[in-house]
C-alpha cells in the first residue's frame, strides 16, 4: 500500500511515500531497537555553553509559552486564514470563519488535548496525546505528530465535521498506519469522480460518496482491509488512475504521484509551494523549505536576514536580491531546502520556524564540533547538503525522472472561486499573476541556482564532480543522462 506510513513509538512517522510497502515486500514488519549506556560527547562544556545560549533565545520569544501550550495548533490560525485550506478537490477554499468555529485552539485545549509530547531535549514539542471528552466517541485516545496539519486535511478535504469526528478519524488512520495526507486527498478526489459520474455505485459497492465523516471512514476501512474502492485508492494516484480510467486523471491534482499540501492560488507561489514541484520525492513536509514559510506580507529584508543567519554567500545574495524590494523565490529556494536537508541529516527537528528560526549557522557548527570532536566549517556543511541534494536528484534521474516530471498541476492555472475571499489566482510572492511561461522561467532559475541542467533538470557533470560525486557523474554519463563536461 503506497498510502501507508512507518510509525515510530505510536505517534511519529518516517513520512509518506510508501516505505512500508518496501518493507512489506521484504516481509519486514518492524524495527525494534533497545539502547543502553550514554551518548558520549567530545566536549560537554562547550556543548552546554552553546545550548544555554540557544535556549535563552527560545525563552525570550514572547510567544514561547503559547507554543508550549498549543503545540502545532498555534499555527492553525495562520493556516486557516492566510495559508488557506483547499476543499472540494482543489476547487474551493474552506471558509475561515467556519474553520475557527469548528476547530478553534481554545476548544482543543478544553476538550481534546490530553498532553504534550516532545522529542528528547526539544524546547517546543510538536506531538500530541489526544482524548475525546464528550459525545459518541468519548474516551477515544490518539497519539499524533504535527496535529494541526491532520486537522486541516480531515476538515477541508474530507469535511468530517466536528472536532470529535476529526480526532476519531485520525485515531483510526493512525492505528491502521494509513497516511492522513495521502489518503484524504485520494478520498477527496474520489468524491468528485462520483459527483461527475465517473465512479458509480457499482464501483463503490453501493456507497454514496460524499464529503463527510461516514464516507471517510468507509473508504479508510476498505483501504485498511484492501477491499473495494478503498483498496484501489490505497495504491496512490498513479496506480489508482490506471485502474479507474475513464478520464479520471483529468481531476487528479498530483505531482509525481503525490498530492500537494499547499495551494499557491491561496498563499501565492512561495518556497514550500514551489518545492512541491521540484522536490525529487514529490510534495511533502517539512522538506518543502518550511523554514522559508513566512507570511506573504513579510518584507524582503526578513528573507535576507534569514539567509545571512545561515551563511549564504554575497554572490548568491546578489542573484536572489537583484534589486531593492524584490527577491527571486526560485533562486532562494535551494538554500531553504539545503538548510532543512542539513537539519534532517543531524537529526534535528525544524518545526515550522518554531525551532530553526531561533538558531543560526554558527550554532550548528559549534554544536557539531562539540559533540563529535571534529571541527567543521560552515562551508563544509553547505557543501555536504548540496552534495546530498544533488545525489538525491541523480538517483531519481536514474529511474527516469527529469524536468518533464516537475509539473505544475493544471488546476493551479484556473481561478479559485471562494465564498469569503472572492476569486484567487496563481501569483508570485508579491501578488503578481503567473502564467505557465512564468512558472517555467522559475524552474530555469531554480535549476541554474542548483547547478542543474535547465533543459533536463538533472545535475550537470561539473556540479557533481565539484561536489565530490565523480562516480555518480560517470554513471549518469554512461546512461546517457548528462553530457560529458556539461557546464
What is the Cα 269 distance to its own chain's centre?
15
pLDDT at 284: 81
Architecture of domain 7-30+63-251: Orthogonal Bundle (1.10)
Span 168-182, pLDDT tens digits: 999 999 999 899 999
Question: Where does the pLDDT of residue 486 fall: very low under 50, low under 70, confident under 90, or very high at 90 and above?
Answer: low
As a whole number, mean pLDDT of residues 432-460 equals: 98
Q: Which residue has the cell 473508504?
A: 219
**Lowest-pLDDT range, 2-11, 67-76, 261-270, 407-416?**
2-11
Domain 264-478, CATH: 1.10.599.10
Span 149-164, pLDDT tens digits: 888 899 999 999 999 9
Q: Which residue has the cell 534532517?
A: 344
Contact 160, 154 (CB under 8 A): yes
d(CA 341, CA 190): 34
Torsion sign, CA atoms 40, 45, 46, 52: positive
Q: Whole-angstrom distance between the N-terminal and C-terminal Cα of the chain?
A: 41
Span 245-275, pLDDT tens digits: 999 999 999 999 999 988 999 988 988 889 9
Residue positions counted in the chain:
487
Contact 327, 302 (CB under 8 A): no
Question: Where does the pLDDT of residue 11 fall: very low under 50, low under 70, confident under 90, or very high at 90 and above?
Answer: confident
d(CA 335, CA 438): 21
pTM metric for this prediction? 0.92
Q: Which residue has the cell 474530507?
A: 158
Domain locations in the chain as residue ranges: 7-30+63-251, 264-478
d(CA 255, CA 272): 14
3-class DSSP assignment, residue 435: coil
Amino acid at each position: 500500500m503506497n498510502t501507508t506510513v512507518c510509525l515510530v513509538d505510536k505517534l511519529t512517522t518516517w513520512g509518506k511515500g510508501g516505505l512500508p510497502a518496501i518493507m512489506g515486500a521484504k516481509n519486514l514488519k518492524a524495527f525494534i531497537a533497545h539502547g543502553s549506556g550514554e551518548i558520549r560527547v567530545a566536549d560537554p562544556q562547550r556543548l552546554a555553553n552553546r545550548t544555554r545560549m540557544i535556549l535563552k533565545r527560545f525563552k525570550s520569544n514572547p510567544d514561547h509559552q503559547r507554543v508550549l501550550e498549543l503545540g502545532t495548533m498555534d499555527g492553525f490560525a495562520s493556516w486557516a486564514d492566510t495559508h488557506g485550506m483547499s476543499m472540494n478537490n482543489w476547487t474551493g477554499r474552506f471558509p475561515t470563519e467556519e474553520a475557527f468555529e469548528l476547530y478553534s485552539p481554545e476548544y482543543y485545549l478544553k476538550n481534546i488535548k490530553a498532553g504534550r509530547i516532545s522529542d528528547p531535549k526539544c524546547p517546543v514539542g510538536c506531538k500530541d496525546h489526544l482524548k475525546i471528552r464528550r459525545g459518541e466517541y468519548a474516551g477515544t485516545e490518539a497519539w499524533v505528530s504535527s496535529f494541526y496539519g491532520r486537522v486541516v486535511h480531515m476538515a477541508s478535504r474530507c469535511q468530517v465535521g466536528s472536532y470529535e469526528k476529526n480526532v476519531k478519524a485520525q485515531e483510526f488512520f493512525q492505528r491502521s498506519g494509513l497516511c492522513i495526507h495521502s489518503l484524504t486527498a485520494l478520498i477527496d478526489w474520489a468524491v468528485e469522480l462520483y459527483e461527475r459520474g465517473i465512479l458509480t455505485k457499482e464501483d463503490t459497492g453501493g456507497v454514496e460518496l460524499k464529503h463527510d465523516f461516514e464516507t471517510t471512514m468507509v473508504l479508510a476501512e476498505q483501504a485498511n482491509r484492501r477491499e473495494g474502492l478503498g483498496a484501489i485508492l490505497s495504491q496512490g494516484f498513479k496506480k489508482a488512475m490506471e485502474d479507474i480510467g475513464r478520464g479520471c486523471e483529468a481531476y487528479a491534482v498530483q505531482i509525481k504521484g503525490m498530492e500537494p499540501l499547499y495551494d499557491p492560488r491561496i498563499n501565492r507561489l512561495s518556497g514550500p509551494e514551489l518545492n512541491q514541484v521540484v522536490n525529487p520525492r514529490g510534495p511533502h513536509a517539512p522538506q518543502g523549505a518550511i523554514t522559508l514559510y513566512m507570511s506573504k506580507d513579510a518584507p524582503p529584508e526578513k528573507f535576507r536576514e534569514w539567509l545571512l543567519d545561515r551563511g549564504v554567500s554575497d554572490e548568491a545574495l546578489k542573484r536572489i536580491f537583484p534589486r531593492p524590494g524584490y527577491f527571486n523565490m526560485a533562486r532562494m529556494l535551494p538554500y531553504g531546502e539545503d538548510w532543512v536537508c542539513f537539519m534532517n541529516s543531524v537529526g534535528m527537528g525544524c518545526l515550522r520556524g518554531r525551532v530553526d528560526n531561533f538558531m543560526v549557522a554558527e550554532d550548528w557548527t559549534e554544536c557539531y564540533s562539540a559533540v563529535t570532536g571534529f571541527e567543521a566549517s560552515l562551508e563544509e556543511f553547505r557543501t555536504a547538503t548540496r552534495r546530498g541534494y544533488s545525489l538525491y536528484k541523480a538517483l531519481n534521474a536514474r529511474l527516469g525522472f527529469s524536468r518533464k516530471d516537475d509539473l505544475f498541476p493544471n488546476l493551479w492555472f484556473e481561478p479559485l472561486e471562494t465564498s469569503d475571499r472572492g476569486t484567487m489566482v496563481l501569483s508570485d510572492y508579491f501578488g503578481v499573476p503567473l502564467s505557465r511561461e512564468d512558472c517555467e522561467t522559475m524552474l530555469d532559475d531554480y535549476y541554474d541556482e542548483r547547478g542543474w541542467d535547465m533543459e533536463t533538470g538533472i545535475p550537470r557533470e561539473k556540479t557533481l564532480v565539484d561536489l565530490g560525486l565523480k562516480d555518480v557523474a560517470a554513471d549518469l554519463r554512461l546512461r546517457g543522462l548528462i553530457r560529458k563536461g556539461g557546464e
